[in-house]
């Protein structure tokens, strides 16, 4: 049991990436650089530093001012590199999500021309990190289908047939959260109390009654949408007074995936 609790705790603490990436994707739609929260997917640190003339004062009148400028320059350059990396990664995640929603393939050349107008030599590193974030947050895989032209398709990581995307395409895939809930249920002995589930969600920055930019209102998603789609079962604990509730796998989850697949996916991601 101690090992199981450790696994859940370790995973849930890493799940802050959900809220971090939602902020990153939203920020990609605005011209201002997104923040660099500590829990976000790591940024490449090798991005070219801006010219020192942009971060240092010109014509300092004293040696002290020159020393302060020299000390601040590396910190400013590092901050600029991280901001640029986060912005490009968020832009790439947003671009790939649009391809997933449109059920369209993409190519290396298209990604370069659409997202990487600068720093194209850092594409492999940022593409790798963006792909991993898509897996973690949305349970979406980027798969190469033709090595000759480096073309890719985006597919559901576990092959689940429902991803929570509205028919108008104006929402994001939600299976990343569903898979993690299936994982928590397994680690809790195939039946997770509602209290335990909300504890995990709280660690992720998801709260009852609070709308999330990716998942909407989490209670509605878990107790209505996924129950109606038969991925989850939500039932009252027998003889509980006051009433308490618990979550189990629904019949559709059992039909479309396996316990081993879910365990391996989550543990490989975190």
pLDDT at res. 75: 72
Name the strand (E) or helix (H) holding 5. Answer: helix 2-14
Query: Which two three-digit tokens encode residue 223?
Result: 């107790």
pLDDT at res. 64: 58
pLDDT at res. 213: 83
* CA 39 to chain CA mean position, Å: 10
Is 73 in contact with 55 (CB distance < 8 Å)?
Answer: yes
3-state secondary structure 109-131: HHHHHHCCCCCHHHHHHHHHHHH
Is 119 in contact with 49 (CB distance < 8 Å)?
Answer: no
Query: For tokens 């912005």, what's the residue?
Result: 87
Is 183 in contact with 197 (CB distance < 8 Å)?
Answer: no
From the list 172, 178, 146, 142, the residue with the least C-alpha distance to 157 is 142
Average pLDDT, the chain: 78
pLDDT at res. 48: 36
Is 8 in contact with 187 (CB distance < 8 Å)?
Answer: yes
DSSP characters for 182-222?
A: HHHHHHTTS-EEHHHHHHHHHHHT--TT--BTTTBSHHHII
Segments of the chain with pLDDT less than 70: 1-74, 167-170
Q: What is the pTM of this model?
A: 0.73
**3-class state of residue 242 by DSSP:** coil
pLDDT at res. 51: 36
Residue 55: Cβ-neighbour burial (10 angstroms; 0-12, 13-18, 19+): middle
Q: Which pLDDT tens digit goes with each residue over 167-222?
A: 665 678 999 999 999 999 999 999 999 999 999 999 888 999 999 888 889 999 99
Query: Which two three-digit tokens encode residue 73?
Result: 């320059």
Query: What are the distances in angstroms from CA 127 to CA 70, 123, 177, 224?
Result: 33, 6, 22, 35
pLDDT at res. 68: 58
pLDDT at res. 121: 84
- Strand 106-107 versus strand 140-146 pairing type: unpaired
Residues in contact with 59: Cβ distance below 8 Å, sequence separation at least 6, in sequence order: none
């Amino acid at each position: 049991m101690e090992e199981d609790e450790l696994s859940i705790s370790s995973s849930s603490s890493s799940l802050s990436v959900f809220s971090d990436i939602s902020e990153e994707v939203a920020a990609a739609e605005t011209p201002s650089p997104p923040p660099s929260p500590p829990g976000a997917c790591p940024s490449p640190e090798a991005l070219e530093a801006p010219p020192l003339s942009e971060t240092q004062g010109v014509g300092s009148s004293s040696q002290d001012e020159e020393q302060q400028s020299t000390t601040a320059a590396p910190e400013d350059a590092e901050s600029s590199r991280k901001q640029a990396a986060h912005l490009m990664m968020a832009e790439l995640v947003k671009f790939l999500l649009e391809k997933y929603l449109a059920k369209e393939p993409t190519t290396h050349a298209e990604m370069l021309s659409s997202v990487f107008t600068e720093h194209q030599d850092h594409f492999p590193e940022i593409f790798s990190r963006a792909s991993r974030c898509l897996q973690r947050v949305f349970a979406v895989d980027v798969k190469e289908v033709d090595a000759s032209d480096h073309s890719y398709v985006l597919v559901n990581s576990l092959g689940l047939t429902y991803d929570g995307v509205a028919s108008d395409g104006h929402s994001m895939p939600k299976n990343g959260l569903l898979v993690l809930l299936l994982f928590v249920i397994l680690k809790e002995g195939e039946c997770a109390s509602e209290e335990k589930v909300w504890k995990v969600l709280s660690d992720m920055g998801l709260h009852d009654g609070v709308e999330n930019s990716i998942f909407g209102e989490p209670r509605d998603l878990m107790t209505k949408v996924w129950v109606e789609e038969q991925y989850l079962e939500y039932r009252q604990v027998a003889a509980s007074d006051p009433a308490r509730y618990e979550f189990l796998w629904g019949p559709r989850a059992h039909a479309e995936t396996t316990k081993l697949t879910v365990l391996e996916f989550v543990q490989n991601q975190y």
